[in-house]
Amino acid sequence: MRKAIYILILLMASASLQLIAQQNFASISFGATIPQGDYASTGDLSSNGYANTGGAIKFDAGYFPVSYFGIGGSFSFGSNYATRDSVLSDVISYIEENASGGIDIPEDAEALYGSGFWNYINLFLGPHFSIRASQNLYFDFRGLAGLSIIRAPNQELTITYDDNYIYTNSSYNNVAFGWTAGGGIRYKFNSNLALKLSADYVQTKAKNTYTFDLFDGVVDEVPPLDAEFYIKAVELTAGLAYSF
């Protein structure tokens, strides 16, 4: 009888350990990146990003040497389109207000403008906390930090009027410290494959420079404009995780 009790206790302990034990995983997810704060604002070329909601791709992994706590890693890509009309209006206003001799660009001037995307790549590492709520359901929480590579939109503007020609361009790459914090769930379909849903806040710092060239009838100079602000975004993604 005593032996049977010992065996029962061992079985219960083993089942409990299986319940709380974590499985290492690697995942791929797709979703939306929603700009926040100055990154989404318009009206100031020097401190706003003019960014719209875009797309995100994330490659995540978690390694758990002990239950609950582990090491998380993330390699992700995000892209946000810069609002064309708002940037165009603010660039023209900046030229008119900052030309050394003053410039008045007529409303019927021909403007050819192409706006691009904010693109950023993140490589983050840090602590990952996971709770196994049931045999198939995990709750994940993490705070990661690392490097971000940011590419500003390649924006070109050509304005012609009354035999005058104005050209402006902005294109800038920079590397900055970045971090992310968020959480999600993993629901296992079988012993290896799981559905992964995540919500993460991402922050890094962007820089950009607008340069201006004035030719053919325009002798005034417009000083270059440096822009600097924080890229802040909420990333909502869904994908598949492989447990091992």
CB 166 within 8 A of CB 99: no
The two three-digit tokens of residue 66, written as one number: 């002990």
Q: Is 141 helix (H, G, I), strand (E, B) or coil?
A: strand
Measured between its terminal Cα atoms, the distance across the chain in Å is 38
Whole-model pTM: value is: 0.84
Range of the domain at 55: 23-243
107-150 pLDDT, tens digit per residue, is 888 888 877 899 999 999 999 999 999 989 999 999 999 999 99
Q: Looking at the domain assignment, is residue 14 inside a domain?
A: no
Measured CA angle at 219 (ends 172, 154), to 5 deg: 15
How confident is the model over 140-166, as pLDDT tens digits? 999 999 999 999 988 888 888 887 788
Please check whether residue 5 lies inside any domain of the structure: no
The continuous run of DSSP H or E covering 12 comes out as helix 2-20
What pLDDT, in 10s, does the model give residues 45-80? 999 999 999 999 999 999 999 888 999 999 999 999
Residue 1 belongs to a domain: no
* Position 232 pLDDT exceeds 60: yes
With a cut of 90, say whether residue 224 has pLDDT above it: no
Length of the chain: 244
Structural domain count, the chain: 1
H/E stretch holding 88 reads helix 84-98
The answer as to whether 49 is a domain residue is yes
Single-letter residue type at 139: F
Range of weakest confidence among 21-25, 71-75, 159-163, 195-199: 21-25
Does the residue 16 lie in any domain? no
* CA–CA dist 35, 53 (Å, integer): 6
Percent of the chain with pLDDT over 70: 88
Q: Is the Cβ–Cβ distance between 152 and 169 less than 8 Å?
A: no
Cα distance between residue 243 and residue 192, in whole Å: 5
**Residue 188 belongs to domain with CATH number:** 2.40.160.20
